[in-house]
Each structure stands twice: as structure tokens, then as C-alpha cells.
Amino acid sequence: MQHFSKKLIGLLFVLALLVSACGGGTAVPGENAPAVESNSPVENEAGVSGNLVIYSGRSESLIQPVLDAFQAKYPNVKILLKSGSNSELANALIEEQANPQADVFVTTEIFTIQSLYQQGLFASYRPVGADLLPAEFIGPEDSWVGLTRRARVIMYNTELVGADEAPQSIFDLTDPKWQGQIAAAGSTNGGMQAQIAAMRQLLGDEATQEWLTGLMVNEVTFFGGHTDVRKAVGAGEFKIGLVNHYYYYLQLAEGSPVGIVFPDQGEGQIGLICNATSAAIVNGGKNVTAAQAFLDFLISEEGQKLFAEGNYEYPMLASVPLREGVEPLENFRLADVNVAEAALDLNGTLDLMEAIGLP
Amino acid sequence: MQIRNTLPQLRRHYHISPRLLFAAGLVALFVAIPLAYIFFRATTGGEEVWLRLLQTRIWKLLGNTLLLAATVTGGATLVGVTMSFLTERTDLPGRKVFRWMLAMPLAIPAYIGGIVHLTLLRPRGGLIPQLLAEWFGQPIPTPSPLGFGGAAFILTLFMFPYVYLLSGAAFRSLNASLEEASRTFGRSNWQTLWEVTLPALRPGITAGALLVALDVLAEYGTVALLRYETFSSAIFVQLSGRYDRSAAAVLSGVLIVIAVMILWGELRLQGQARYTQMDSQWRPAPTLPLKKWKVPAFLLVSLVVFSSLLVPVIVLAAWSVQALLDPAALASIMRSGSQTFGNYAWNSLWASALAAVIAVLLSLPVALLSARYPNKLTQAISRFCQVGYAIPGVVIALSLVLLVNRYLPFLYATPLIVVMAYVLRHMPQAVRASESALNQLSPSMEEASRTLGRTSIQTIFQVILPLIVPGLLAGAGLVFLTSLKELPATLLLRPAGFDTLAVRVWVWASEGFYIQAAPAALLLVVASAAPLYFLLRREQIFR
């Protein structure tokens, strides 16, 4: 193998030379730089410029407005975004550990980021204003910071399901009465992965597996993402969907007849499963200044407002109001999940999904 | 045939150039290393990973993958041969236009076709089921495009042109005398078709079927979208899910074995029969009158053209208009981070074009060697450089991630690694095109050049290259076309900010935003159609 590798290196060098010779004129043309609305120069902090590489697990339509606002504030920063699933990007970060490419990592749930922290991938940074956030959403050693909270809810089509008839617990979703009528996101979705990780901790492997198998027996349709789920429920294609809470509000805003249940609030039930989107600065990233400015911005009043207003999420910053009509989390009993513990066993969650063949 | 006759004579004049052999050897090594590395990783992946996969996944994936490959290959062969028969050998009305329209679906990546048909056909939510429900006042059950049936349907629809093109060319070159002889011996027209014509077309049909089978193995987007799990999509899930590459390497190893077995099977199949024709007496076969079958045949061809070409293009165009009219959608389509739509389109174009140039350049020493000095060694090198056919994009991406990150970190996370994947994956097309271009060139040209005092290098650059440029351009066009469509390798290898049209389509569509995906998809189809047009113009059946 050693012998092979040496030859390979030589060969690849030849190719690299060839490529750079051919590709000299292929730099990205400058005229494509977006026009940025002018901002008072006082606001543009000096020294924040260059490329800011962001790996984001958030759906692109849910982060681009935030990036645009940041860009308006720091017009000299060029944002290079790589969107994908949380785990796909987490893998890339691990792969690149010796040769870091990203400056900032943004995820849609907390377990992945905690697990990467445990592998030493993040730099410590306490963003400006972090003291105003709930302490439980600051990572150990200031390794990551929570951005917003989201709840796992049940949405239903009000033309097909009465409010009194709608399932009040995620365990009702295995009821044969709903056979073939439920849509959810599949095993590659961060929100679904986090829900399974939380349930494993709350109930153990056996009960979680039983629930998942029950969903599959009940012919639940698993989509790649939640947008498909909310649209399908809104259109009446399915009666019920298992989603994050803001998908309900997004669908409602499109004028669809949909209702929401914050499940498992009864005596002896597990409570509402919640999750947090989060962000961290990658160890060894090339643009630390911009990365820090970006994290500051995400938890600033302006950044938090964008999440709350644009996407109906629960902001971390208490001073930022919820978007009108969003039910406050304080009204509900939340499931008690230990993040650090759940993150330690992320592979166990993947094993479980693989073993039962969750689509 | 002339070339082969003069070869012994050539060899007497000059022996194999060591420089050429060295260059070709380097190219072969370049192709071989990712493959070798994957096998190395797969076999040293650890007993535990093998056991876990053997217990849970491999058998089901094997069944799924082989079933899909067999079904789609069969379906594409049936559709492709029927279409080429109808447009080449019968008096089908409008056959000249149909010839074009039946080849054009090659410009539409199957996953884009899948997105369109999924939104049209999805039970309850799709446009067609909704329309039916409105007309009849109650839901009418329709077949679901999800799962095995849907994946087989979509892949057949967008892969049959391979078989169609290759069998069409074969139909066209078939000599009339063959069938006349058959009829003289008392066979009916139909008997002649089944017992004489089709067997004579077998090499063309098999070559087309082989391409389809290998493409199904490599397909990621469509099966992921329609939620049918094959090796390719399972590798992708492993790669993006688990913080451990061993399982992905094991699955990749198994996938490569399947692909190589298919390649070997084709070689065996082709080797059993030879059909030689005497070119000097060639006459085109007469067209068969369809008579009462004219209308059904016309409807059948129309249906295929409609669902594989017209529906996707029309739906994409309609969505694009919708997206352009909606300011919010338009704003989100136009930008990702600080990158704009122009960046994605530009990235797609230059990365694919650069891959095409490099692939053709690298194919030259290999093709020169095997065309001028055909022996076991040079044939082996040529065959070996075509093994990229059998390696799905996701496997190439995995090997490059592992290798480049370890040994060439400065190349990692640059667009060049994406280009490298395209070259590795699509090199076979360049090698085949260069070989066929060189084979059409008489060696006497070179001899004359050498006699007139040029060195072998001068001969290559001043005599051979100018003459084979059209053939090389065709190879480059093919590499460009397929690189433009390549999804899984781009998804896994792209550096931040380097999105291509294919990636943009996927980022939007996998989230369920089909309208936002449409403009990039439409542009991708248009950009693919242009080189396809010029490639087809070279074929006799499109003149």
C-alpha cells in the first residue's frame, strides 16, 4: 500500500499541475457579488472581512434571511454556505479535522453539536450577550451556543380530523385507526434523529424500537424533509403529520386548514419533546473574527428576531417576543432529556434506525 | 479491417514507444488507485462491520439493487428496441422528428424526471390523482410513483435512449440482403424479425443494456427521492449518517463486485457471437408498412415521447415561470450565502468542461497505445481505464475523500477534487471515443509523416491530432454531458460555496421545494441538450 501511495502522490501532483495550468482563468467572476444595501459605516466593524465558510444543517430558506442581514451589516464578508443534513456536515467536519475548512457549524438539533464537542472539534467562544441566554443552552467550555428552540408536534388537517379526535400523544400514531394516514420525516432528518435519541433516553431502546416499528406497521409515509410533510397534510394527502412546530405555522400561513397538538401533556406521559438549533466555531477555522461576529449576530436581538419572526421559532433571548399566534413553551410540560448523555450515544440511535430499516 | 492488416507491418517498423507506455500506465494507475483503496478499506473494515451489515443490510440491498437493475434493463431494452424498430424500419408518420425526440431524454437527469413525475403522480397529493378525484367526485386509486414500481418506471423512462440509440444505429447499418435471404428461405416478416434481425442486432442492444445496468447501479438521486433503497443510496446514508467510513467502504466494495460481474457478463455474451457484414454490398433494408398498426404505433411512440420528454420540460418550464413570478421564491433561488445563480451555472459549466478536456487528454496515450499496438497488455490497459463505468459516483467520492484528505490535503475542499471525480468517473467515454477516432485513421498517414522526417511526437501533434479532433470533441461532449448531471460525487466533494446546478436542484428538491428547484433543473436540461444535439448530428440516423 505504501508503494502505491507514493506513486499516487506523484501522479496526482502531475494532475494537479495540469489542472491548475488549465484552470487559471476560471476564477469566480467578481460581477456576481451581490449588491448590498448601504449601511452606515459606523456599524461596519473594522477588520471583519474575508470568506466566512458556514456549514449549515438548517433548511436553506430558513437561514438565508439571517445570512442576508449579517451580510448587510458586514458587507466585506463573503459568505460561503454549504447546506446539507446535520450528520453529513458533521462527517465532513470530522473528516477535515486535520485540515479544517469551515468557520462555523450550524445545526438543527443539539446532539450532533454536543457529540462533535466531545470529539474536540470546536473552539471556545462566549458570544457577546451569551449571559442573557438560558445557561443550559450554552455548551460546556463555551463550545457551542443555542439559537432557537423547536418543539416536536402533531399537525392535522382540520377538514379530515376533528379537534377532539386528533391524537394527543405520539404513541397514538401507532393506532391502526390512522393506518396509512400519517406522514413524518425519515431517518436522514435531523429532527427525527433527535426525537429518536431523546426517546431512547426517556424510555429505553426497547420501547423506542417498539414505537418506530409501530409507525412502520401503521404504514406511516416517511419523507426526506418536513416541508413535504406539512404540504401533504395541508393538501389533505395525509390526515396527520409529525413535524417541528413551525412547520404547522408555515402551513397555516399558506391558508391551509391545519391544526396543532402539543402532545404528551397528560399525567404519566413523557411531555413535549423539544430541541434546540445551535451553532459553534470550528477549531482551526481560517476566519475567527468573522465567525465570532457571526455568532454574536445570531444571538443578538436582531438575529433572534429574524428566527422568531421569519420562522416562528422560539428565540433563546427572552427579550425577543414570539411571533404572534405562537403558543409559548411555558404553557407546556417539556420532556426531561439530558443532552450530553444522548449525544454520547448517537451511533446507538443510528444502529437502531438501521436495524429496523427505518426509511 | 484494413488497419488490422497493416499492423504487423507497422510493428516491424517501430516498437512500442516507452514514453507512450509510461504515460498510459500512469493514467491506468490514476484510475486504479481509488478502486484499490476502496477494496483495501472494505477488506480491512473489520469483522464487526461485516457481521453487522451481513446480519442487517447486505442481503436486502443486494436483492433490491439486482431486482431494480434487472427490471430497468429489461424495460429499457424493450422500450428502446421497439422505438428504434418503429422509427428506423417502418413507415411510422413523423419518424424523423420522433428520432430526435426519443434521444433527447438523455439530456434530462433521471432524478429531475423523478421530481416531476413524483409531483404529478403522488397518490392523493399529485396533480393527476387530484384531477381524477375532481372529475369523478371521489378519489380514484392510482399507481404510486414511490418505491420499487416508481423507481423502475422513472429509470426505464429516462434510460431507454441508450438502448434506443445503439440499436437504432444497428438497425440502420443492417444489410437488406440478410433479411432477403431469410425471406427467400420461407420465413415470414415477423419470423425474420425475431429469428434473423434481432439476433444480428444483439451486440448493439447488449451494449445499450450494459450502459443501463451500470447506470442503475450508480443511480443515487432517483432512488433516494422515490425512497427505494439500493447499494448506492445506502452508501450515501452511511456516509452522511454514521461517523465511521468502514460500513460505507464495505458496501462500496460489494457494489463494485456487482458492477464488475455485469461487465464481465457482457464481455462473455459479446464474445460468443460475431456478425460480420460485407460493406461493399450494403443496401438499406426496405421499410415495413405498418398498415392497420399505424395508429397504435404512433400513439405508443407519442406516449413515450410525451412522458419522457414533453412532460418534464413543460412542467419545469411552468414551475420556472411560477418561481420567477414569486418574488420571495425568486430571491431565495437567486442566492445561497453570498453566491448567486450565475455562480452555480458557471461552476457547472467550467467544472464539467475542464473534466472533459482532462479526460480526453488522459485518454489519448491509452487510445494511441491500444489502437496502434494492439496486444494483450495494451488492451488490458485500455479496458482498465474504462472501469470508471462500473464505479458509482458515490464510491469515487468516498475514495477521493479518504485519499486526498490524507495525502493531498491542499487539494481537498477545492473545486479540483470535484473535477477529479468527474474525470475518474467519465474517463471511459473519452477512452472509447478516442479509440474509435484513432481506429478510423489509416496508419499510412503516420508512416508518410515519419518518412518525411517528423519525429513521433511531431507526428502526433501535427498529423494525428488535427485529424482526430472531431472524434475527440465527441468524447469531450459525452464527458461534459454526464459530468453536468453528476450528483452524488458533487454533493459529497463540493467545497463550501461551490454549488453546481445539479446540487442546487437537489438541495431544493430534497427539502420539498420543487418550484424553487425548477429554474436550475431547466437550465441543466438546456445546457445538456446543446452538446447532445451535436453528438447526435454525428450519427447517421440523425442526418
Identify the residue with better confidence: A15 or A315: A315
Amino acid identity, position A353 = M
- What's the maximum distance between 2 C-alpha atoms anywhere in chain A? 71
Burial class (CB in 10 A: 0-12, 13-18, 19+), B279: exposed
Here the cell at position B296 is: 397504435
Here the cell at position B426 is: 467519465
Here the cell at position B525 is: 436540461
User: A55 in helix, strand or coil?
Assistant: strand
Dist. CA B354–CA B421, nearest whole Å: 12
Please report where in the chains the cell 426509511 appears, as a residue.
A359
User: A275 in helix, strand or coil?
Assistant: strand
Find the closest chain B residue to A355 by CA distance.
B56
Interface membership of A30 toward B (CB under 8 Å): no
Report the DSSP pairing between strands A104-107 and A274-282: antiparallel
User: A47 in helix, strand or coil?
Assistant: coil
Taking CB atoms and an 8 Å cutoff, what residues of chain A touch B57? 354
Decide if the complex's ipTM is over 0.90: no
Give the H/E segment covering residue A148: strand A144-157
Find the closest chain A residue to B333 by CA distance.
A61
Give the H/E segment covering residue A243: strand A240-244
- Strands of B56-158 (E only): list them: none
User: B513 in helix, strand or coil?
Assistant: coil
Amino acid identity, position B348 = S
Dist. CA B124–CA B383, nearest whole Å: 49
Residues paired with residue B8 on neighbouring β-strands, in sequence order: none
Dihedral angle over CA of A246, A249, A253, A259, nearest 10: 150
Please report where in the chains the cell 424510555 appears, as a residue.
A203
Please report where in the chains the cell 414505537 appears, as a residue.
A211
Task: Read off the pTM.
Answer: 0.85
pLDDT of residue B110: 93
Other beta carbons within 10 Å of B36: 15
Other beta carbons within 10 Å of B299: 11
- Rg (Cα) of chain B, in Å, rounded? 24
Dist. CA B45–CA B248, nearest whole Å: 9
Residues 51-80 in A contacting B (C-alpha not used; CB under 8 Å): 51, 53-55, 59-61, 64, 67-68, 71, 77-80
Residues 109-168 in A contacting B (C-alpha not used; CB under 8 Å): 115
Burial class (CB in 10 A: 0-12, 13-18, 19+), B45: buried
Nearest to A53 among B336, B496, B512 (CB): B496
Q: Which of B396, B383, B345 has its CA nearest to residue B525?
A: B345
**A333-353, pLDDT tens digit by residue?**
999 887 777 777 777 888 888
Dist. CA B226–CA B146, nearest whole Å: 5
Could you tell me the pLDDT band of residue A14, with boundaries at 50, 70 and 90?
A: very low
pLDDT of residue B500: 94
Dist. CA B147–CA B156, nearest whole Å: 14
Cβ neighbours of residue B378 closer than 8 Å, sequence gap 6 or more:
B16, B24, B369, B370
CA B299, B301, B304, B305 dihedral sign is negative
pLDDT of residue B243: 66
Give the H/E segment covering residue A241: strand A240-244
Q: Which parts of chain B register pLDDT below 70?
A: 1-15, 56, 124-125, 241-244, 270-282, 543
Here the cell at position B80 is: 428502446
Burial class (CB in 10 A: 0-12, 13-18, 19+), B388: buried
DSSP state of A127: -
Dist. CA B140–CA B155, nearest whole Å: 25
pLDDT at A30 over 70: no
Dihedral angle over CA of B327, B332, B335, B338, nearest 10: 110
pLDDT at A247 over 90: yes
Residues 382-421 in B contacting A (C-alpha not used; CB under 8 Å): 401, 403-405, 407-409, 411-413, 416, 419-420
pLDDT of residue B276: 52
pLDDT at A25 over 70: no
**B368-425, pLDDT tens digit by residue?**
888 888 787 887 888 778 777 778 888 888 888 888 888 888 888 899 999 999 999 9
Interface membership of B44 toward A (CB under 8 Å): no
Give buried/exposed letters for B391-430 (b at 16+ CB in 10 A, else e): bbbbbbbbbbbbbbbeebeebbbbbbbbbbbbbbbbbbbb
Residues 212-271 in B contacting A (C-alpha not used; CB under 8 Å): 224-225, 227, 229, 237, 239-244
From residue B32, how far is each of A283, B161, B381, B482 by CA, in Å? 35, 30, 10, 21
Q: Which of A260, A264, A270 has its CA nearest to residue A312?
A: A260
Are the C-beta atoms of residues B503 and B492 closer than 8 Å to each other?
no
Are the C-beta atoms of residues A153 and A173 closer than 8 Å to each other?
no
Interface membership of A11 toward B (CB under 8 Å): yes
Burial class (CB in 10 A: 0-12, 13-18, 19+), A49: middle
Taking CB atoms and an 8 Å cutoff, what residues of chain B touch A99? 405, 409, 412-413
pLDDT of residue B279: 54
Q: Which of A263, A256, A220, A264 has its CA nearest to residue A238?
A: A220
From residue B44, how far is each of A128, B250, B530 by CA, in Å? 48, 9, 45
Contact A19 B244 (CB under 8 A): no
> Could you tell me what percentage of chain B is helix, strand and coil, using 3-state DSSP and rounding each to the nearest 5?
80, 0, 20
Dist. CA B440–CA B2, nearest whole Å: 10
**A187-225, pLDDT tens digit by residue?**
888 888 889 999 999 999 999 999 999 999 999 988 878
Cβ neighbours of residue B271 closer than 8 Å, sequence gap 6 or more:
none
pLDDT of residue B281: 63
Angle at which helix B231-241 crosses helix B58-89, to 10 degrees, equals 130
> Could you tell me what percentage of chain A is helix, strand and coil, using 3-state DSSP and rounding each to the nearest 5?
45, 20, 40
Here the cell at position B302 is: 407519442
For chain A, give the mean pLDDT: 85
Nearest to B512 among A26, A71, A223 (CB): A223
Nearest to B340 among A32, A222, A359 (CB): A32
**B69-104, pLDDT tens digit by residue?**
999 999 999 999 999 999 988 899 998 899 999 999
pLDDT at A152 over 90: yes
Are the C-beta atoms of residues B405 and B412 closer than 8 Å to each other?
yes
The residue-averaged pLDDT of A137-158 equals 94
Find the closest chain A residue to B349 by CA distance.
A26
Are the C-beta atoms of residues A111 and A197 closer than 8 Å to each other?
yes
Give the H/E segment covering residue B134: helix B127-136
pLDDT at A253 over 70: yes
Other beta carbons within 10 Å of A222: 21
Burial class (CB in 10 A: 0-12, 13-18, 19+), A309: middle
Cβ neighbours of residue A89 closer than 8 Å, sequence gap 6 or more:
A55, A56, A57, A82, A102, A105, A107
Instruction: Indicate left, alpha or beta for A120 from its phi (over 0: left) and psi (-120 to 50: alpha).
Output: left
Contact A225 B511 (CB under 8 A): yes
Dist. CA B195–CA B100, nearest whole Å: 29
Cβ neighbours of residue A315 closer than 8 Å, sequence gap 6 or more:
A148, A304, A305, A307, A308, A322
Count of A–B CB contacts within 8 Å? Answer: 188
**A36-71, pLDDT tens digit by residue?**
333 333 344 557 889 999 999 988 888 999 999 999
Dihedral angle over CA of A299, A303, A305, A306, nearest 10: -140
Mutate which: B510, B514, B515, vs A, most A CBs within 10 A: B510
pLDDT of residue B109: 93
